[in-house]
Amino acid sequence: MSDRLQTIITSVVTIVVIFVLWEIGVRLFNIPEFLVPTPTAVLAKMAEKASLFSMHFYVTLYETLLGFLLGVVIGIACASVIVYSRFLANVIFPVIVILQIVPKVAIAPLFLIWFGYGWESKMLIAFLIAFFPIIVNTVSGLRSVEPEMIELVRSLEATNWQIFRKVRLPNSLPYIFSGLKISITLAVIGAIIGEFVGGNEGLGYLIIVANFELDTPLMFGSLVLLSLMGLVLYGIIELLERLLIPWSTTEEEKVVAVGM
């Protein structure tokens, strides 16, 4: 625990020092605000436009969470189907591979045409990006069961459902969680991509507006909130992991890296 505390203190101090140096640097060299605002100017902007920021923040959060949850549900369901049916695996895999190969940023405009300029298209882009690490990790988790575990429960006349519920699913939880941790940060990116492409809400939209108006403090404020969102969501998943699977040891987690 004291190790953890030390880590936290070190991180916080580092961040504070960076901000202080930043503030001093900008003032010292007289850098104009539209290039780099001081941290205090950003904070002032955030305080001034608090209700604007919070409104756009919640929109992005909403799109991110919906896309992520959709990714979790469909990802785990598809993974289970793939593990249990060779036929359906052969049907699903090519589709997934194609979806993964197509750059998400490039299909975002198409999604806006299909699903409109509201939250739905953003949610779907977030989903599309978040989905892949979940399905890949879940499949490898469900498959990485010791054969003898299955033999043991089979010798007790276990049904297929029991084998799934009592053996494969719990065994895959550490894998699923490492997928979730990758996915949640990707889901934020997905929502932002959607907002960049079109729409009139969300922190991504706010960044585009700030860009047009050369309102750099507004842009930095949005960036701060986006980082906070990613950080907190990631933290929540890590907390859930610690609460739900305290038996897990990190070295057995398989982190599957994915590009966009």
Partner 1 sequence: MQSRKKIIEIQHLKKIYPSKNAPILALSDVSFDVYEEEFVTIVGQSGCGKTTILKIIAGLLPKTEGTVLLGGQPVTGPRASSGIVFQQPVLFKWRSVLDNVLLPIEILRRNRGDYLQAALDLLELTALTEFKDRYPRELSGGMQQRVSICRALIHDPPVLLMDEPFGALDAMTRSEMNVELLRIWSERRKTSILITHSITEAVFLADRVIVMTPRPGMIADIVEIDLPRPRLAETRVSPRFNELVQVIGRKIGLKYI
Binding site for partner 1 (CB under 8 A): 146, 148-149, 151-158, 162, 166-167, 170-171, 173, 245, 247-249
How many whole angstroms separate alpha carbon 201 and alpha carbon 60?
Answer: 8
Q: Which residue, 3 or 157, is less far from partner 1 as judged by CB?
A: 157
For the bound state, the minimum distance from the C-beta of residue 174 to partner 1, rounded and expressed in Å, comes to 9
For the bound state, the minimum distance from the C-beta of residue 157 to partner 1, rounded and expressed in Å, comes to 5
Q: Which residue, 149 or 224, is less far from partner 1 as judged by CB?
A: 149
Q: Which residue, 71 or 179, is less far from partner 1 as judged by CB?
A: 179
For the bound state, the minimum distance from the C-beta of residue 155 to partner 1, rounded and expressed in Å, comes to 5
Q: What angle do CA 69, 193, 52 make, to 5 degrees?
A: 85
All residues at 6 or more sequence positions from 128 whose CB lies less than 8 Å from its CB, including other chains: 67, 99, 104, 107, 190
Contact 121, 111 (CB under 8 A): yes
For the bound state, the minimum distance from the C-beta of residue 159 to partner 1, rounded and expressed in Å, comes to 9
Q: Which residue, 48 or 146, is less far from partner 1 as judged by CB?
A: 146
Q: Which residue, 153 or 224, is less far from partner 1 as judged by CB?
A: 153
For every residue of 4-51, DSSP letters joined together read HHHHHHHHHHHHHHHHHHHHHHHHHTT--TTT---HHHHHHHHHHTHH
For the bound state, the minimum distance from the C-beta of residue 254 to partner 1, rounded and expressed in Å, comes to 15
- For residue 36, how many other CB atoms are within 10 A of its CB? 16
